[in-house]
């Protein structure tokens, strides 16, 4: 695919980022968009693999990557985009936010560097909007049946998109003021500007999807309301229960969950007129972020933009190697050190660190007590064990807990439907994506647990097909 031996002729080249001194002054996107000439070269690097692991193994959506790379290289952007959209509802989201497991499985990456697949996807969808290839396509026929989707994150949006295109009336209920879920409120603008989400929402509305915002299912509308007015309901409320840290001092003022912190800044950026009961700001403060993942990185970047005095990010896991270790060989997702744009903007990272307690003064947090850990293997798993004599303290006026999520969102709605979560806090379903209640389906992180946006879309596409099959079967009875 691409150019014959193009992977030998061209090197991997990414568009890069705006300079740190510039981007720290605003919340605009930090990553530059790829230029057209470079995209042709990167598509040319796609090898004529015997087995394209990027497509069959790496991508949860099974994007047909070699085909759209070849079409793009030949200049047929419209057909390449059609191929991409046949498997991915929202390349503009994944192209900005996906960590690209497809690239980790790229055959070119065995001895060289992988094809910039994520950037190619992003270039394709943006070219589609620019050239008018992306336009509203309302369903040519409607069935008269109605489906409710609870939640407007990537999973909820993908379910709504698929079902609407199949000719069903779809209403998406969202508790927040605007659609987009955590993609809008939990991910900073410097990773995805909200105009990108608004552009897609506007397109879906023109295609017939109805969005009802400011409506909390389980409170404003009940299970009885949904069952009476809709032929099927899909619960896609995400995994929004944050993992907590049950240690002394947890109740001190100045200790907050990452989502609360990020949501506030995103609402400010979007101009939502909200008075916060407890406004969280890093301005002039010593900030500690507990959690070394993407959410922790988002908090780091946000704190730096707010003018924090210092920012320290703690991770309990050991520091990963910079090169792919033998434990995660190709085409597995490599357990390597990942340095985001936010890490390059400032702050300090520490690995193999556990927090033992918070200390405060007059009810406000002032420092953390920490210790280094080593990981020891038990019969069942590895566990962190404190190393005696490694205790230390960190001054902190603001502590942000960014340790991931442990369960499905909207417990009131789950209880309203008489559903039960599993031992991981997720809402289970059968092989047809249906919960234990007839006609009630689930998709995305609410069902699978916290994961990638690309996996949420994949889950949603499968659920949408099952909902359509269910409604078609009902119609035939």
In tens, the pLDDT along 51-95 reads 999 998 999 999 999 999 999 999 999 999 999 999 999 999 999
pLDDT per residue over 344-379, tens digit each? 999 999 999 999 999 999 999 999 999 999 999 998
Instruction: Strand 169-174: give its sheet, edge to edge.
Output: 210-213, 169-174, 146-150, 232-235, 440-442
Residue 108 — φ and ψ, nearest 5°? Answer: -60, -25
Mean pLDDT of 175-203: 97
Beta bridge partners of 401: 257, 290
Instruction: Strand 310-314: give its sheet, edge to edge.
Output: 255-257, 398-401, 286-290, 310-314, 348-350
Residue 470 CB: number of other CB atoms within 10 A? 19
pLDDT per residue over 18-62, tens digit each? 999 999 999 999 999 888 999 999 999 998 888 999 998 999 999
Q: In 155-285, which ranges are E strands?
A: 169-174, 210-213, 232-235, 255-257
Q: What is the pLDDT of residue 380?
A: 85
Using CA atoms, how far apart are residues 419 and 423, in angstroms rounded to an integer? 13
Mean pLDDT of 309-323: 97
Place 386 in a pLDDT band, splitting at 50, 70 and 90.
very high
Q: What is the secondary structure of 363-416 as a DSSP string?
A: TEEEEEEEEEEEEEE-SS-EEEEE-TT--EEEE-SEEEE---B-S-S-HHHHHH
pLDDT greater than 80 at residue 275: no
pLDDT greater than 60 at residue 477: no
Residue 307 CB: number of other CB atoms within 10 A? 12
Q: What is the pLDDT of residue 228?
A: 96
Q: What is the pLDDT of residue 86?
A: 98
Task: Using a pLDDT cut of 90, give the percent of the chain over it.
Answer: 90
**For residues 459 and 448, is the Cβ–Cβ distance under 8 A?**
yes
Residue 314 — φ and ψ, nearest 5°? Answer: -110, 140
Domains, the chain, ordered by start: 6-19+26-131 (1.10.1060.10), 146-240+406-476 (3.50.50.60), 255-401 (3.50.50.60)
Of the candidates 364, 473, 463, 460, the one whose C-alpha atom is nearest the C-alpha of residue 154 is 460
CA count, 13 A, side-chain hemisphere, 68 = 31
Mean pLDDT of 106-135: 96
pLDDT greater than 70 at residue 2: no
Q: What is the pLDDT of residue 473?
A: 83
Task: Using a pLDDT cut of 70, give the percent of the chain over it.
Answer: 99
The pTM (predicted TM-score) of the whole model is 0.95
**For residues 256 and 401, is the Cβ–Cβ distance under 8 A?**
yes
Q: What is the pLDDT of residue 1?
A: 59
> What are the angstrom distances between the C-alpha of 473 and each of 244, 253, 433, 459?
44, 55, 15, 21
**For residues 115 and 46, is the Cβ–Cβ distance under 8 A?**
yes
What is the average pLDDT value for the chain, to the nearest integer?
Answer: 95
CA count, 13 A, side-chain hemisphere, 208 = 20
113-117, 227-231, 421-425: which range is least confident on average?
421-425
């Amino acid at each position: 695919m691409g150019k014959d031996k193009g992977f030998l002729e061209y090197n991997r080249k990414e568009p890069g980022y705006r300079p740190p001194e510039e981007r720290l002054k605003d919340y605009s996107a930090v990553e530059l968009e790829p230029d057209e000439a470079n995209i042709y070269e990167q598509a040319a690097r796609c090898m004529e693999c015997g087995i394209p692991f990027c497509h069959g193994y790496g991508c949860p959506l099974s994007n047909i990557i070699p085909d759209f790379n070849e079409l793009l290289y030949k200049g047929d952007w419209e057909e390449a985009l059609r191929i991409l959209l046949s498997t991915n509802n929202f390349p503009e989201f994944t192209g900005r936010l996906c960590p690209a497991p497809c690239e980790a499985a790229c055959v070119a990456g065995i001895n060289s560097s992988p094809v910039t697949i994520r950037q190619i996807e992003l270039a394709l969808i943006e070219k589609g909007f620019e050239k008018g290839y992306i336009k509203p396509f309302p369903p040519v026929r409607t069935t008269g049946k109605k489906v409710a989707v609870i939640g407007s994150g990537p999973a909820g949006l993908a379910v709504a998109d698929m079902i609407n295109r199949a000719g069903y009336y779809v209403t998406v209920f969202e508790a927040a003021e605007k659609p987009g879920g955590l993609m809008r409120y939990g991910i900073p603008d410097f990773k995805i500007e909200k105009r990108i989400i608004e552009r897609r929402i506007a397109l879906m509305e023109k295609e017939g999807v109805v969005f009802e915002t400011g409506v909390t299912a389980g409170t404003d509308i009940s299970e009885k309301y949904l069952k009476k007015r809709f032929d099927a309901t899909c619960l896609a409320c995400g995994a929004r229960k944050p993992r907590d840290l049950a240690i002394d001092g947890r109740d001190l003022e100045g200790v907050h969950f990452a989502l609360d912190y990020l949501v506030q800044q995103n609402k400010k950026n979007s101009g939502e007129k909200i008075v916060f009961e407890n406004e969280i700001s890093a301005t002039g403060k010593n900030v500690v972020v507990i959690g070394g993942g993407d959410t922790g990185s988002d908090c780091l970047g946000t704190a730096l933009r707010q003018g924090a005095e210092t920012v320290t990010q703690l991770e309990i896991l050991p520091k990963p190697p910079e090169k792919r270790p033998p434990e995660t060989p190709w085409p597995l997702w490599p357990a390597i050190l990942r340095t985001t744009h936010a890490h390059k903007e400032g702050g300090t990272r520490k690995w193999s660190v556990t927090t033992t307690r918070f200390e405060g003064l007059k009810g406000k947090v002032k420092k953390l007590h920490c210790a280094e850990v080593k990981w020891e293997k038990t019969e069942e798993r590895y566990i962190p064990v404190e190393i005696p004599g490694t205790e230390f303290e960190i001054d902190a006026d603001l502590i942000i807990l960014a340790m991931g999520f442990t369960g499905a969102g909207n417990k009131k709605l789950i209880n309203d439907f008489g559903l039960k979560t599993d031992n991981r806090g997720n809402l289970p379903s059968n092989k047809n994506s249906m919960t234990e209640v007839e006609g009630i389906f689930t998709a995305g992180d609410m069902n699978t647990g916290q994961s990638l946006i690309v996996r949420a879309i994949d889950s949603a596409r499968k659920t949408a097909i099952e909902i359509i099959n269910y409604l078609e079967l009902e119609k035939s009875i």
